[in-house]
Structure formats: structure tokens, C-alpha cells
């Protein structure tokens, strides 16, 4: 007789808490920001600053302006989330906020 039971029955009833999802999103936003910084660093190494004097570079920025605006907005959102979550984390750790006090 073969009974079909789930391997881990506690997973379907698990409700994620905010305190467990904040560190995950903090790491994701940090990895995204590090990737952006590395990408721009490699671009500057590859093409150098002399390319900003060429007309084609400005034409490329003009025609891809919507893509650049979207990427800047996503980067600003990730930066602000990463900054505010880091400040919240520091305040929680060093001020005692969020801890249970012993009587």
C-alpha cells in the first residue's frame, strides 16, 4: 500500500514573516547595485572618458533614453531600499529596538 504524502508537510502552511524577507531582499538589492557598479567600471575601463567627446555617444543616449530612464529608476529604487533597510538594521541592532526586555 503506497500512501502519497508530501515530503515536508510544514511548508504549505508556512507564512513568511517580514523579518525573514527583509534580509533576502537586502542581499538581492546589494548584489544588483554591485553588478551595476562593476558594469560601469568595466565600461569606463573599456571605452575610457575620451568617448564622451564623440557625437555618436550622445546620439545613442538620446535614442535609448527611455531604457536609460527605466534602468536609473530601478537602480534608484534598489539604492533607496538598500540604504533604508541598512539604517533600519543598524537601529534595530544598536538601539535595542525590537528586542524583548528582561524584567
Residues making up the chain, counted from first to last: 103
Three cell numbers, residue 17: 514573516
Largest Cα separation within the chain, whole Å, is: 77
- Indicate if the alpha-carbon torsion angle 61, 65, 70, 75 is positive or negative: positive
Tell me the domain boundaries of the chain. Answer: 20-101
Rounded Cα distance between 84 and 12, Å, is: 31
**How much is the pLDDT for 69?**
80
Rounded Cα distance between 24 and 59, Å, is: 39
pLDDT in tens, the chain (103 residues): 677 766 666 666 667 777 788 888 999 999 999 999 898 888 777 776 666 667 776 677 777 777 778 888 899 999 999 999 989 888 888 876 655 555 5
10 assigned binding-site residue: no
**How much is the pLDDT for 98?**
58
Distance of CA 60 to the CA centre of its chain: 27
Amino acid at each position: 500500500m503506497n500512501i502519497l504524502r508530501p515530503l515536508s508537510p510544514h511548508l504549505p502552511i508556512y507564512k513568511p514573516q517580514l523579518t525573514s524577507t527583509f534580509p533576502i531582499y537586502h542581499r538581492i538589492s546589494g548584489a544588483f547595485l554591485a553588478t551595476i557598479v562593476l558594469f560601469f567600471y568595466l565600461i569606463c575601463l573599456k571605452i575610457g572618458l575620451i568617448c564622451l567627446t564623440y557625437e555618436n555617444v550622445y546620439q545613442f543616449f538620446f535614442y535609448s533614453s527611455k531604457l536609460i530612464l527605466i534602468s536609473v529608476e530601478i537602480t534608484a529604487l534598489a539604492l533607496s531600499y538598500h540604504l533604508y533597510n541598512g539604517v533600519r538594521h543598524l537601529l534595530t541592532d544598536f538601539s535595542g529596538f525590537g528586542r524583548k526586555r528582561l524584567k
